[in-house]
């Protein structure tokens, strides 16, 4: 069968249907993009932070590689190469002021790491001070930027420069990690404004000699990092300042690694000055990185900080989730924390228990109110409905603060009880800063969310059903239990799931009236986001809470059936 234009009818219908779907998609596209950008992407970014751990690898790349083959179970300190690698990594991180962020991250896993990195970051400039002074005293030219440029410039060392560019850019760009950060960088790139400087865009002001990089690999690497730092962080070139102390220390290591015969064969720029430096360094002991780190802080002489660095060197970690369930990574695998350190399991149990209590309280209080609203004359019902909705017109903070005033020991409720003689003046009830205060205040705040679904369902139940049941001999209680109540179950289900989900994630009310025993897991999540800045742990706690809610939702659907939930009609 053909259409009017001669095409097969089936093909014509498919084309029309496709065009109709495209038009519908175009209509909802703005809203869909808005939801993706403002809702889905932030949630995905936050959930990604619960496993993201790139800061250790990007801040200490050489150290991570050096510790990869170290046996943390042996009880022995890492080899000297690990101390030297840590010096190179930490010097660059300290110059870029990124070492404190790394210390803060590792401090979540091992208390004291923050102060360890902060203190050593201040001292790392002085490592090898005697060797640096020897070179500067040997020849004044070692303190001149032009001398270093002359010695290191040439061609063939592009790979070393590119590696230094990438290393510093990754170190400098830690704040943009995650799905949301990558997406935002992509959006900015469309408009010609990339999120972070690329390696190719960095103008270093010189090119590195391949012969110099091959003969003096440590020096070439350190000088390249200095050049990249000057270009990106200071917006200057290597011609504007003499190199870091780390470059001198690297040169010291390279000169000691070469025999006089090998250095004699080197014919690059300033070769004579390099040979003179090698001869002079023979009278100065080499830099002992192990001793320098231990002198800076004796904790570097223990295996614990090294073990922590090695454990959290991979770019992704389960550490945040283990902490969120009161566990930790150990050399023998995941293990429970000490009993006095287990707080999150208790918080999750308390959150679930109190959310259920609030839900049941709202059912007990909201059911009779909704029944009255559904069975009173319309004029009276509308007036009472205004009273039910009145709390929505009052600030949540004001309502919560009012309960704090009413429930405190010198508050209104205790004063009334004392006045009635039900409570002695010296035996006033403690109803605030505990679970009772949180349940009372949140029941009042969430009660309208239970009443409204119940009312909308009860309004659709014809009064004739109850009259018919009574006329057939049923008592009022039996008629209610067998006829009326089953028809209100969808409203109870809708109100319960609404109140429970709102309660389990509440923050302000438990924070104000909960004290130490009435707070929810959401309060701890907020603490880690705003105070401790442990966003990874906050994301892990939030992920677990999300999974718990989804599991309970699934169980609710299996038991009650989500299709039976009604908000009205």
- For residue 303, what pLDDT is reported? 92
Instruction: For 344-564, give the CATH class.
Output: mainly alpha
Q: How far apart are CA 68 and CA 72, in angstroms?
A: 10
pLDDT at 192: 46
Q: Above 70 in pLDDT, residue 191? A: no
What's the pLDDT score for residue 173?
A: 61
Above 70 in pLDDT, residue 560? no
Residue 74: predicted pLDDT: 82
Share of the chain above pLDDT 70, in %: 91
pLDDT at 471: 86
- Tell me if residue 330 falls in helix, strand or coil: strand
For residue 184, the model assigns a pLDDT of 44
* Best-predicted range by mean pLDDT (344-358, 422-436, 465-479): 344-358
Residue 140 DSSP SS3: helix
At residue 267's C-alpha, the angle toward residues 262 and 269, to 5°, is 125
Residue 215 and residue 253 in contact, taking contact as beta carbons nearer than 8 Å: no
Task: Please state the rounded mean pLDDT for residues 398-413.
Answer: 88
Q: Output the DSSP codes for 65-99.
A: HHHTT--TTS-PPPPHHHHHHHHHHHHHHHHTT-H
Residues 88-107 have a mean pLDDT of 90
pLDDT value for 568: 47
Q: Which residue has the higher pLDDT, 184 or 10?
A: 10
Sorted by where each begins, the domain ranges of the chain are: 1-41, 55-336, 344-564
Per-residue pLDDT tens over the stretch 483-511: 888 888 888 888 998 899 899 988 889 99
**44: confidence class by pLDDT, cuts 50, 70, 90:** confident
Q: What is the mean pLDDT of residues 5-12?
A: 70
3-state SS assignment for residue 177? coil
Q: β-strands 333-336, 327-330: how paired?
A: antiparallel
Phi and psi at 514, nearest 5°, equal -85, -25
Q: Using the structure block, give the residue that is written with the tokens 């809470």.
A: 545
Q: What are phi and psi of 311, to 5 degrees?
A: -65, -35
pLDDT the model gives residue 357: 95
pLDDT of res. 305: 93
Among 136-150, 190-204, 319-333, the range scoring the smallest mean pLDDT is 190-204
Residue 174's pLDDT is: 52
Q: What tens digit of pLDDT does each residue of 152-170 get?
A: 888 888 888 888 888 887 7
pLDDT tens sequence across 364-374: 999 999 999 98
* Cβ atoms of 152 and 225 closer than 8 Å: no
Q: Residue 161 is encoded by which pair of tokens? A: 């420069």
Q: Which residue has the higher pLDDT, 183 or 524?
A: 524
| Confidence tier at 96 by pLDDT (50, 70, 90) | confident
Residue 60 in this model has a pLDDT that exceeds 80: yes
Helix (H) or strand (E) holding 335: strand 333-336
Q: How far apart are CA 266 and CA 254, in angstroms?
A: 13
pLDDT band at residue 4 under the 50/70/90 scheme: low
């Amino acid at each position: 069968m053909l259409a009017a234009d001669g095409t097969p009818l089936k093909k014509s219908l498919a084309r029309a249907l496709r065009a109709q779907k495209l038009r519908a998609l175009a209509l909802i596209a703005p809203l869909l993009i808005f939801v993706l950008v403002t809702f889905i992407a932030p949630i995905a970014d936050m959930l990604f932070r619960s496993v993201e751990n790139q800061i250790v690898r990007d801040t200490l790349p050489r150290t991570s590689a050096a510790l990869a083959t170290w046996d943390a179970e042996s009880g022995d300190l890492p080899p000297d190469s690990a101390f030297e690698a840590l010096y190179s990594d930490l010097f660059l991180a300290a110059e870029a002021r990124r070492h404190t962020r790394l210390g803060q991250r590792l401090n979540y896993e091992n208390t004291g790491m923050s102060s360890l990195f902060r203190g050593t970051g201040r001292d790392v400039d002085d490592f090898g001070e005697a060797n640096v002074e020897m070179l500067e005293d040997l020849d004044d030219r070692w303190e001149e930027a032009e001398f270093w440029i002359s010695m290191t410039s040439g061609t063939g060392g592009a790979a070393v420069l590119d590696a230094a560019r990438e290393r510093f850019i990754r170190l400098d760009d830690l704040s943009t990690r995650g799905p949301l950060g990558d997406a935002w960088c992509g959006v900015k790139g469309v408009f010609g404004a990339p999120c972070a400087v690329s390696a190719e865009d960095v103008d270093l002001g010189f090119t590195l000699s391949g012969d110099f990089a091959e003969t003096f690999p440590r020096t070439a690497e350190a000088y390249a990092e200095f050049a990249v730092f000057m270009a990106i962080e200071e917006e200057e070139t290597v011609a504007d300042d003499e190199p870091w102390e780390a470059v001198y220390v690297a040169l010291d290591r390279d000169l000691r690694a070469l025999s006089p015969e090998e250095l004699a064969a080197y014919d690059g720029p300033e070769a004579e000055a390099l040979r003179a430096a090698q001869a002079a360094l023979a009278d100065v002991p080499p830099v002992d990185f192990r001793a320098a780190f231990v002198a800076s802080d004796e904790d570097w002489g223990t295996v614990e900080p090294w073990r922590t660095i090695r454990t959290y060197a991979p770019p992704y970690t389960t550490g945040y989730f283990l902490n969120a369930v009161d566990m930790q990574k150990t050399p023998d695998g995941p293990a429970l924390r000490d009993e006095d350190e287990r707080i999150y399991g208790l918080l999750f149990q308390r959150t679930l228990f109190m959310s259920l209590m609030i839900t049941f309280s709202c059912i007990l209080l909201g059911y009779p109110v909704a029944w009255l609203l559904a069975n009173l004359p319309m004029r009276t019902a509308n007036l009472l409905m205004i009273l039910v909705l009145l709390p929505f017109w009052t600030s949540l903070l004001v309502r919560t603060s009012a309960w704090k005033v009413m429930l405190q020991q010198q508050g209104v409720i205790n004063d009334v009880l004392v006045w009635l003689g039900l409570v002695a003046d010296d035996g006033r009830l403690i109803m605030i800063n505990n679970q009772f205060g949180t349940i009372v205040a949140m029941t009042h705040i969430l009660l309208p969310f239970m009443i409204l679904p119940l009312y909308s369902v009860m309004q659709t139940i014809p009064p004739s059903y109850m009259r018919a049941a009574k006329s057939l001999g049923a008592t009022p209680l039996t008629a209610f239990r067998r006829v009326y109540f089953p028809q209100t179950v969808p409203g109870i289900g809708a109100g319960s799931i609404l109140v429970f989900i709102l309660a389990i994630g509440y923050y302000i009310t438990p924070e104000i009236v909960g004290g130490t025993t009435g707070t929810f897991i959401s309060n701890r999540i907020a603490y880690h986001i705003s105070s401790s800045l442990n966003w990874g742990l906050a994301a892990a706690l939030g992920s677990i809470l999300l999974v718990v809610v989804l599991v309970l939702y699934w169980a609710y659907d299996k038991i009650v059936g989500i299709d039976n939930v009604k908000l009205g009609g």
